[in-house]
Amino acid sequence: MTKNTAETINHEDFLFINDSLVEIFDKILRIEERELRKSRFKDITINELHLVHAITLHEQKTTSAVAHELHLSKGSLTSSVNMLVKRGYVERIRNQQDRRVINLTLTSKGRLLYRAHDAFHRQLVKSFLIGMDENDMPLIKRALTNLQNFVDEATNH
Amino acid sequence: MTKNTAETINHEDFLFINDSLVEIFDKILRIEERELRKSRFKDITINELHLVHAITLHEQKTTSAVAHELHLSKGSLTSSVNMLVKRGYVERIRNQQDRRVINLTLTSKGRLLYRAHDAFHRQLVKSFLIGMDENDMPLIKRALTNLQNFVDEATNH
DNA sequence: AGCAATTAGTTCGATATTCAAACTAATTGG
DNA sequence: CCAATTAGTTTGAATATCGAACTAATTGCT
C-alpha cells in the first residue's frame, strides 16, 4: 500500500461511501419488511423475523441468552416470544436439567421462515460480489474487517 | 476479472461477509445510541437524531417532505417534531408563499448535533479505509455500487 | 438437611412510537 | 366565489419496550 487514503480521503469519496452505507442499511430493512408482506409469512414483523433469526436452527438457546443477544429486557422477550408461539413459529421447551430454564426452538414453520430470510441474505451477499474475482476478496474482507474493528472498539470502549 | 466469485462463492466467504454486514449495522446503531448518551445531547434518541439528520443543515424542507423521506406518517412526524422543538433542536417556520406549509430548520443547537453526528460518520468511513490506497478505491466503490443496485432493484420492483 | 440468596422467566403498569382517520386552515381551479 | 385539494395537527387505538414486583426452581452455606 503506497498511501493511506484514510488520512487524505476527499470529500466526494467520503460522501459516496457514507451515503452508500446509510442508504443500503436503510433500504435493506424496508426490503426485508416488504418481502415479508409478499411472502407466506404475513403475520410476522421485521423485529419478529430477527427474533426468529436469533433463535437459530440448531441451538436451543435460553430466553435470557436471546434477550441478551438482542439487547432486550426479559419482559420484552417474553411477550414477543408469546406472539411467535401463538403464531406457530417458536416452541418453548422446559429444560429438564434445570427446570427454571426455558429453551427456545423453531417449529418447522419457524425453520421455513429462517431459511427464507437466509436466502435473502445470500442474494444480498451475492450481489455485493458481482463482477469480482477471488483476487479481489482479500481487499473486500479487509474493508469489512476494518469496519468490524472500528465498531468493536467503539462498542467496547 | 477472470472469474465471478458471485456464482461460486464458498460458504465461509458468504458467512464472513454476511455476518460482518449484519453485525456492523447492528452495532453502529448501538454505538450511535451510546455516543448520544455520553454527549451533551442526552435528551435525544437515535430516531430523533436521524430526524435531525433528515432535516439537514441548509435546506428548509417541508414537514411532508421529511415524513416521506423517513417513511413516517404526517401524524408521527408532527409529534416527533414537537419533541425536537420543545427541546430546542428544531424550529418551525411558516412558509409565507403558501401559508399551509411549514418549513423545518435546525436551531444552532440542532446544527451542533448534526455536526457531531456527521463527525462520527466521518470516523466510521475513515476506519473503513484504513490501510488502503487510492488504487483500492475503485473496487470498494464497485462493491458498494453493487449493493446499492441490488437494494434499489429490490426496492423498486 | 434446611433455609437464605440467587437465578430464570413471567406479569404488570407506565411510557414511547406509530398509524389512520377526522379535523382545521390555506390554496387552487373552474 | 365556492368546491376540491393540500399541508399539517389532533385524536384514539395498537404495539413495543422497560423496569419492578412476582413465582418457581436451584444453589450455597452452615
Q: Most A CBs within 10 Å: which of B25, B53, B71, as the mutation test of the A interface?
A: B25
Q: How confident is the model at residue B103 (pLDDT cuts 50, 70, 90)?
A: very high
CA closest to D6 C1', residue:
B100
Average pLDDT over residues B108-137: 89
pLDDT of residue B50: 95
Q: How confident is the model at residue B2 (pLDDT cuts 50, 70, 90)?
A: very low
* Residue A62 approaches strand C within 7 Å at CB: yes
* Residue B56 approaches strand D within 7 Å at CB: no
Task: Determine the length of chain B.
Answer: 157
C14 C1' – B110 CA distance, angstroms? 30
Q: How far is A58 from chain B (nearest CA, A)?
A: 16
The average confidence (pLDDT) of chain B is: 90
Q: How confident is the model at residue B133 (pLDDT cuts 50, 70, 90)?
A: confident
Beta carbons of A117 and A49 less than 8 angstroms apart: yes
pLDDT of residue B134: 84
D19 C1' – A136 CA distance, angstroms? 49
Domains and CATH numbers, chain B: 10-113 (1.10.10.10)
Query: Which residue positions in chain A have pLDDT lower than 70?
Result: 1-8
Could you tell me which of A39, A38, A29 has the C-alpha nearest to residue A112?
A39
pLDDT of residue B66: 97
With b for 16 or more beta-carbon neighbours within 10 A and e for fewer, the B1-17 pattern comes to eeeebbeebeeebbebb
Q: How confident is the model at residue B116 (pLDDT cuts 50, 70, 90)?
A: very high
Provide the grid cell at A123.
Answer: 442474494
CA distances from A36 to A113, A120, B43, B88 (A): 9, 11, 34, 39
D10 C1' – B78 CA distance, angstroms? 10
pLDDT of residue B7: 58
pLDDT of residue A5: 53
